[in-house]
Structure 1
Amino acid sequence: MNQAFIRLFSMFQAFLLVSLLLLQLVPAHAAASADSKTYLIGFKKQERAKVRAIQRSSVEPLTGQIVVAELTESEKQAMLEDENVAYIEEDSETELAEASLSPGQSQQVPWGVEHIGAAAAHSQQYKGQRIKIGVLDTGISAHPDLEIKGGVSYIEGEDDFGDQHGHGTAVAGVIAARDNDFGIVGVAPEAELYAIKVLDKKGHGTYSSMIQGIEWAIQNRMNILSISAGGYV
């Protein structure tokens, strides 16, 4: 009788101990996940900081000196203590700047294009020949008034650089719509257009996708970049 009671009491103690451990561990794990944020981490040198936090599987390199990573507050503080870390900033959202463009069916010269004196440049045959322009926006869709040389998408789940919003295509028109008696005529109608898709169909993106787009533009030797988006510091 006493031995049975002792065994039963021992089993109850073990169960109670395991339950207490689970009650302590599960909330801690949940809190850690809830407290994690996505950060952009810039380094002073190309070799990365030798901090345990940077070895996490969530780390994604953007450039030679910038990575994006999920960090808890304690991991962030550990990173800040490394002398090779130049800055750590939250990977905030970006969104489109406002634009109002309504091209007609017969060719028109938009107000902005006219008022910067583009026509005078065109008359001297300055039309953007051999100039590569990267448009960091919602992408660029196929259009008879545009010649798209190439591009890339940094929107998750969208491999092509087609425009599902319309803003990027409109901006591309202002930049380089052909002089062809149709639609509008752009500032540089003979420039080479490249679609760099960093904003989704709602016009939203992130600083990290913007950085990837800029890096692609550098690697592919763009002469000019157009960015019609902003964010919060």
Structure 2
Amino acid sequence: MGVTIGKQTKLLVMLMIMFFLTVPASAAQEKQEKVPVLINFKEKTDTELVKAHGGNVKHEYTIIPAVAAELPPQAIDALSKNPKIDFIEPDGQAQILADEIPWGIARIDATAAQSAGVTGNGIKVAVLDTGIDYNHPDLKANYLGGYDFVNADNDPMDDHSHGTHVAGTVAALSNDIGVLGAAPQAGLYAVKVADSSGSCSYSNIIAGINWAVNNNANVITMSIGGTASSSTLQNACNNAYNNGVVLVGAAGNSGGAVIYPAAYYSVIAVSATDSTNTKTSWSCYGPQVEFAAPGSSIKSTMPDGLYGYKSGTSMATPHVTGAVALLMSTDIAGTVHDTNGNGKWDPAEVRLRLQSTATDLGASGRDNYYGYGLVNAYAAVRDLSSTPVDDPVVTPPESSTPVVMYVGELSLEQQSKVSGKNTFGWAVATVQVVDADGKTIPGASVAGSWSGLTAAAVSGTTDANGVVVFTSAQVKKPKGTLTFTVTGITCDEYAYDPTQNAYSAKSVTF
């Protein structure tokens, strides 16, 4: 096989390879630039194999069989053909998401939860950000340690301010000074993945998730993100979720589609509201949004013992994180909410409780702007022994009329490789099936067809995220159009309505 690179970035990496192969030898020797990549192995990682191809290993992960490395461009194709390798993709870039914020703590009723004796005690929150000023008088007592993946040391001091601000909203102390956090007795891990400019690589985010899982964090909060999807990052989030960690992520500040990692099903995506409970103009939105929270002019802790205001979905996210910490510090054992009977809050149980107690905003029910609504910390921790609200995630409503489903997202990515003197091209179609509330539907059977450069009828079943992927046959020396069309969807208790599809077909031209 040729180079396996994540979707939209495939062509870019190939161009980079061509560039490095065509520069004069003297220039190449002077620069010796290497491409940052994420290398996924089929089974165990093999750092010596990477080094043998001239690579520098940056991180070796334990929650997924992958490493972050820098490779010479010409080595990518050779290494990808090794039978130990599953796929290689570029190391994406993410940014912190802030402008300039503690009315928000009162708005989500965190103070009422604290008055009821629920403070987040015993819960460990990993803040993946620019670090934390762990000497701040409003944070110091809750600091549990951490790691700096930017400078590769054990001193995750904040050299920006963003991470300190996020940490304060989560867990600033109730100490009669400064501000009050949502969960003032929760422990804080400072996991520095972003530098002093607010930039961070996906590989550092994955390393931060890896560290948090290995250090028994209960919650990971990520007020960071990028626009490109990464299979490696998604796998890391999914594995952390499956290990019992709740992940919370910022939806983004561009006013467009939800960014990554918040857009992954295993991450709770948070949009931002202002003081009137209205989604801010800059907050990203879409079917992935699960909750809304205050994100405009939020006051919180700043480095050097100071306080200041910031705005962004970065500021909304720690409000939800704090609510999660409050809920997880309560005793679920023996209640109807402990659906698997293990005596502890699992991610799915946390999400269900927060969904069923959120204050509905916008259109009735879940919507793309506010998700299930404004997170309500006090409602979530109150009357836990009572019967829960009907599961809004898994159980379709009882009705003689089937629930409507349709294609919520359809993307088509062009792929190509060079083998010998020939170029081969193909396409990858990704289909997401959702219901009328924007909830993804696992287990749906999707039928489709390829037409144009190659023709075939295909079918597949959506995964836990409501997604199914189809890959076309490879075409030698492609020249023309390749189209994928969704021809039908079936699922028990659902009725397919193609008139509501975001797209029923998409094409790419070679």
Q: How much is the aligned-residue C-alpha RMSD, in angstroms?
A: 2.6
Identity of aligned residues (%): 39
Whether the 8 Å contact between 1:62 and 1:211 is mirrored in structure 2 is no
Amino acid at match of 1:112: G
User: After TM superposition, what 4+ stretches of structure 1 lie above 4 angstroms from structure 2?
Assistant: 32-35, 49-55
| Separation of aligned partners in 2, 1:121 and 1:223 | 19
Tell me which of 221, 226, 230 is aligned to 2:225: 230
Which residue pairs with 1:97 in the alignment? 97
Q: Trace 1:1-233 onto structure 2 (pairs within 5 A).
A: 27-28=24-25, 30-31=27-28, 36-48=34-46, 55-56=53-54, 58-64=56-62, 65-101=65-101, 110-141=102-133, 142-146=135-139, 147=141, 148-156=143-151, 160-233=155-228
Question: Is the partner of 1:46 in helix, strand or coil?
Answer: coil
Q: Pick closer, same or farther for the CA change 1:51–1:139 going to 2, 3 Å.
A: closer
CA shift at 1:49, angstroms? 8.8
Whether the 8 Å contact between 2:47 and 2:57 is mirrored in structure 1 is no
Whether the 8 Å contact between 2:55 and 2:70 is mirrored in structure 1 is no
TM-score, length-normalised on structure 2?
A: 0.36
Amino acid at match of 2:37: Y
**Which one has the largest radius of gyration?**
1
Question: Is the partner of 1:59 in helix, strand or coil?
Answer: strand
Higher RCO, 1 or 2 (CA under 8 Å, sep at least 6)? 1
Q: Say which structure is richer in strand.
A: 2
Whether the 8 Å contact between 2:94 and 2:201 is mirrored in structure 1 is yes
| Separation of aligned partners in 1, 2:83 and 2:47 | 8
| Separation of aligned partners in 2, 1:66 and 1:54 | 16
Whether the 8 Å contact between 2:55 and 2:71 is mirrored in structure 1 is no
CA shift at 1:128, angstroms? 0.5
Amino acid at match of 1:100: E
CA shift at 1:119, angstroms? 2.0
CA-to-aligned-CA distance 1:94-151 (integer Å, 9 cap, x gap): 21111533xxxxxxxx233222221232122111010011111111111111121211
| Separation of aligned partners in 1, 2:156 and 2:146 | 6
Whether the 8 Å contact between 2:124 and 2:217 is mirrored in structure 1 is yes
CA-to-aligned-CA distance 1:137-183 (integer Å, 9 cap, x gap): 11111111112121111112765211111111111100001112221
Amino acid at match of 1:27: P
- In structure 2, the gaps of 5 or more residues are 1-22, 229-510
TM-score, length-normalised on structure 1?
A: 0.75
Whether the 8 Å contact between 1:49 and 1:82 is mirrored in structure 2 is no
| Separation of aligned partners in 2, 1:191 and 1:219 | 18
| Separation of aligned partners in 2, 1:182 and 1:49 | 49
| Separation of aligned partners in 2, 1:54 and 1:68 | 15
| Separation of aligned partners in 2, 1:63 and 1:157 | 15
CA-to-aligned-CA distance 1:32-52 (integer Å, 9 cap, x gap): 756631111112212439967
- In structure 1, the gaps of 5 or more residues are 1-25, 102-109
Which stretch shows the higher mean deviation, 220-229 or 116-125? 116-125
Q: Pick closer, same or farther for the CA change 1:122–1:89 going to 2, 3 Å.
A: same
CA shift at 1:31, angstroms? 3.6
| Separation of aligned partners in 2, 1:173 and 1:198 | 18
| Separation of aligned partners in 1, 2:177 and 2:50 | 59
CA-to-aligned-CA distance 1:169-211 (integer Å, 9 cap, x gap): 1111000011122211111100011111111111112122222
Question: Is the partner of 1:112 in helix, strand or coil?
Answer: helix
Q: Pick closer, same or farther for the CA change 1:206–1:49 going to 2, 3 Å.
A: closer
